[in-house]
Structure 1
Amino acid sequence: MIKLIAIDLDGTLLHEDKTLSKGNIEALHRAHEAGYDIVICTGRPLAGVRPIFEEIGLPDGNYYMIINNGCTTLSTKNWEIIGKEELSLEDMHRLHVLTEDTDVQLTLFDIDHYLVVAPEASELVTMDAGIVNSKPTLVSEEDLPNLVPIFQAMYVGDPSAIDDFQAQNEAALEADFNTVRSQDILFEILPKGASKASALQALSQTLGYRRDQVMALGDANNDLEMLRFAGYSVAMGNGNAAVKEIADFITLTNDEDGVAHAIHKLIETEKGE
């Protein structure tokens, strides 16, 4: 029996226009009423998640969410951090040096801010920050000791620039970090061992759930480890080929309320409702 449902946001719970549908909201409430723990599990920072959680409008209580691609786990009671992985100052210096003579910018995330280590944010950085309800905060390396903990880094650039940057640097970075190409304009760098899967595993253990009691839904490369961990994995109909290949079930697309479809199917199968 499933006890916990872990749900990605972009490309999964959210429609392509980044909105929540009435159908998905109603399905989440139905799942909660049926006794399932609902856990948002996303690459977004808190500023891009909290408004969505509040719009879902689950009854008062203590819920959990995994953000920053698994680097930060929060309890919604007082928005307390209950689990975290962070980058060191040495890590951030190394990551910043790699941007010299390139067309990519290094962005960093603490609990509240979308930071860019540059004198000016690019249009792509500004656009990406806007998607997660943020504005880029310009910082220099000298500012970073006053901003720790920093949980996650992300290189942002146009697809061809990120292609070149990834080709040149990924092999060396993978020795000391977890890396993921989550979108064509984003190349993400996480502390070694950090992922949605590692955070979901730790949270499941805290709550007393086995992996076979976890269902996870996702669509992209940064969901792969989480889907492999879950006892029952659901790929979105709009998901990429790698996600669909490992999934136990392929639901409808995000624009067709694929999350709601999968939740209703789960409840009908397990609860007979």
Structure 2
Amino acid sequence: MGKFDGVLLASDFDNTILNTERPRRTGCPIPPISQRNVEALRYFMDNGGRFAVATGRALPAFRIFAEQVPMNAPAVVCNGGALYDFKTERYLETMELPETIRPQGQDVLDRFPTAAVEAYHMDNVIHSVRPNEYTRQHEHVTHAGVQPVPTLLEVPMPLIKIMFEDDHEHLLALRDYVSRQPWSADYEVFFSDRTLLEVTRKGASKGAMVARLAKRLGISMDHIYCAGDENNDLSMLTMAAEGFAPANCVETVRSCGATIVADCDHDTLAEIVSILDKRY
């Protein structure tokens, strides 16, 4: 028996466990995950806790980092579009987009000529229509290449998510356009960064998939803790018994009631584990 038996901690990856914002903006190398974070997670797991990464990244974009992060629970990927078990190397759950996403997404691109889109296929292939500077920045931090295609109509199904990339003010207008469409009720639409607007199937969110993971593990909602810094983390931060946010989080996360802890440059996860260590 360990002090963290029956406890699940789920954390966002980018700019929560590891600062990838600076490399994305400047092109500098991605730093290693801090030793303090690694040691804290190992301590948590050695004492019975279950730890999962809950990332917006698709599997090929997270796989390169998966071995660096101690985990003993399946990972939430694609912003809750899928649950993946690295031990068995298979998807446990997926929430695929409907086929209508291709013509609907292409209509959006036709109306917003500066936007690019990445489309994430179930077979772990990433396609891109009109790749732009934000696509290249994203490639730098994910180390996952994209395959250019002329239109979304030529991207094969099934897809787990698509992501529009553009200047923030353009994405705000794009988001507002999508919200006015009768088909928008079929999707979750949210920012994962000021220059990244993501679309998943209705009901596919980090919070929903973390809850499903907890059910699989037999962990009650009273013992789920989540950490994240961006708007795409809000669903799990507000669902958890307690949400934690690094000090570098966006304002909407700061105001959602999450407990603010050390920023991603100063061992966010180590501080969270220290708090839980005193609680249990």
Answer whether TM exceeds 0.5 for this pair: yes
Residue 163 (structure 1) aligned to one of 140, 154, 172 = 172
- 1:111-140: per-residue Cα shift (whole Å, max 9, x none)? 42221134xx22221221232111121124
Number of equivalences: 263
Matches within 5 A, 1:238-253: 238-253=248-263
> Who is 1:117 aligned against?
129
In the alignment, structure 1 segments of 5+ residues that lack a partner are none
> Who is 2:278 aligned against?
268
| SS of residue matched to 1:190 | strand
> Who is 1:8 aligned against?
12
> Who is 2:216 aligned against?
206
Distance in structure 2 (CA, Å) of the matches to 1:24 and 1:211: 24
Residue 49 (structure 1) aligned to one of 57, 62, 73 = 62
Matches within 5 A, 1:73-152: 73-102=83-112, 103-111=114-122, 112-118=124-130, 121-139=131-149, 140-144=151-155, 147-152=156-161
Distance in structure 1 (CA, Å) of the matches to 2:166 and 2:258: 34
Residue 37 (structure 2) aligned to one of 24, 27, 50 = 24
Deviation at 1:260, TM superposition (A): 0.9
Identity among equivalent pairs (%): 23
User: Structure 1 residues 57, 224: closer, same or farther in 2, change over 3 A?
Assistant: closer
Letter of the 1:49 counterpart: F
Distance in structure 2 (CA, Å) of the matches to 1:247 and 1:236: 13
TM-score computed with the length of structure 2 as normaliser: 0.87
Distance in structure 2 (CA, Å) of the matches to 1:91 and 1:166: 15
Deviation at 1:248, TM superposition (A): 4.7
Distance in structure 2 (CA, Å) of the matches to 1:113 and 1:77: 21
User: Structure 1 residues 174, 212: closer, same or farther in 2, change over 3 A?
Assistant: farther
Distance in structure 2 (CA, Å) of the matches to 1:216 and 1:261: 13
Letter of the 2:169 counterpart: S
- 1:30-81: per-residue Cα shift (whole Å, max 9, x none)? 11111111100010111222222201356xxx63100000001011123210
Distance in structure 2 (CA, Å) of the matches to 1:126 and 1:136: 9
C-alpha contact 2:162 2:199 (8 A) present in aligned 1: yes
| SS of residue matched to 2:159 | coil
Distance in structure 2 (CA, Å) of the matches to 1:116 and 1:56: 28
Distance in structure 2 (CA, Å) of the matches to 1:237 and 1:175: 33
User: Structure 1 residues 25, 64: closer, same or farther in 2, change over 3 A?
Assistant: same
Distance in structure 1 (CA, Å) of the matches to 2:36 and 2:197: 32
Distance in structure 1 (CA, Å) of the matches to 2:257 and 2:201: 26
Distance in structure 2 (CA, Å) of the matches to 1:142 and 1:174: 18
| SS of residue matched to 2:203 | coil
Letter of the 2:125 counterpart: H
Distance in structure 2 (CA, Å) of the matches to 1:132 and 1:76: 18
C-alpha contact 2:82 2:160 (8 A) present in aligned 1: yes
| SS of residue matched to 1:216 | strand
Letter of the 1:3 counterpart: V
TM-score computed with the length of structure 1 as normaliser: 0.90
Letter of the 2:177 counterpart: Q
| SS of residue matched to 1:250 | strand
Deviation at 1:143, TM superposition (A): 3.2
User: Structure 1 residues 3, 83: closer, same or farther in 2, change over 3 A?
Assistant: same
C-alpha contact 2:10 2:53 (8 A) present in aligned 1: yes
In the alignment, structure 2 segments of 5+ residues that lack a partner are 23-29
RMSD value, Cα: 1.8
C-alpha contact 1:126 1:136 (8 A) present in aligned 2: no
| SS of residue matched to 1:204 | helix
Letter of the 2:167 counterpart: D
